[in-house]
Structures are given as C-alpha cells and as structure tokens.
Structure 1
Amino acid sequence: MTATLSDDEVGKTVIDAEGKELGIVAQVDGGRAAVDPNPSVAEHVLAKVGVEGEDEEDYVVTEDMLETVGEDIVLRGEL
C-alpha cells in the first residue's frame, strides 16, 4: 500500500531511506509535496501554521516515492 499525502504533512521533515534529513514539506497539492531543502527557522514556523508555500528552490516528492508517512516522511530506498 502506498502512503498518501495530505495537508496534514505540511511542516513535516522529509527523510531519505538512510535517515538523512532532506527538508520540510512546504505545500501538498494533488498527491505531491513541495519540499524546501533549506528551510529557515521562519519557514519552519510558517509551514507549521500553513502559511508556507512552494517556491523555486523546492523539489517535488510524489506518493509513489514514499515508504511511510508519520511524524516524519520517509522516502523509499529504491528511488
């Protein structure tokens, strides 16, 4: 079963299969998440309250790339 993304994931940390932090979810839209790879403290706070949005430095993570969605979002190892 593939993990799913919802607006509840905004502000969560994205981690690769080896445990490396890759950034935070800035926005979720239609089964894809915009991930900010270098969030500032202010961007962390804004994401937690749902104000942060996608910008040009963000990269996209799709549901088929996910291993688990919980307190953090963990990507599959075989991407």
Structure 2
Amino acid sequence: MTELTDDAVGKTVVGANGKELGVVASVEGGTAHVDPNPSLAEQVMSKIGWEDADDEDYRVTGDMVDHVGEEVVLQGDL
C-alpha cells in the first residue's frame, strides 16, 4: 500500500497502461480526490493548493496505487 499525502496534489494520475486519468485535486485522510477533467485553471489551482474535492471527482486510496513519483501510477489489477 502506498501512502497518499498532500505531496500528490497537482500530480497527474495514470493507469498502469500509461493513460492519463485525471489530476489529484486534494488528499484527505490518505484518500486522493481525482478530477477526471480539470480545466487549465483547476490544474494550476491544485498545484498551489487552492483546489478542493467536488462532486465529479473520484476517490483513489493508497491500496489502489502502485507508486507515486512525477505521476501517481495506479496498479494494473484494478
């Protein structure tokens, strides 16, 4: 299990196949809230910590993540 922290905010989330799935808008209690269709303004706001979770975001937990580097990479067996 990978621990998700505020360091993941603003990073692109990709599937194991490399497909971009969205951008981490916020992290609360080890769960990332991922915006699947962020506008340019939302991307900038999340990088500086001004973006919060909203209704269209989906949740990603640490047990779904393979690793976090420049991107948040999900496991291939989801």
* Aligned match of 1:42: 41
Q: Post-superposition, which runs of at least 4 consecutive aligned residues in structure 1 deviate over 2 A?
A: none
- Backbone CA RMSD of aligned residues: 0.5
Unaligned 5+ residue runs, structure 2?
A: none
State whether structure 2 residue 60 is matched by structure 1 residue 61.
yes
Distance 1:30 1:70 in 2: 20
Distance 1:69 1:9 in 2: 7
TM-score (norm 2): 0.98
Unaligned 5+ residue runs, structure 1?
A: none
Distance 2:64 2:4 in 1: 11
Superposition deviation, residue 25 in structure 1:
0.2
Number of residue equivalences: 78
AA of the residue aligned to 2:39: S
TM-score (norm 1): 0.97
Distance 2:21 2:34 in 1: 8
Percentage of identical aligned residues: 60
Superposition deviation, residue 54 in structure 1:
0.2
State whether structure 2 residue 12 is matched by structure 1 residue 8.
no
Distance 2:3 2:20 in 1: 19
State whether structure 2 residue 22 is matched by structure 1 residue 23.
yes
Local SS of the residue matching 1:26: strand
AA of the residue aligned to 1:27: S
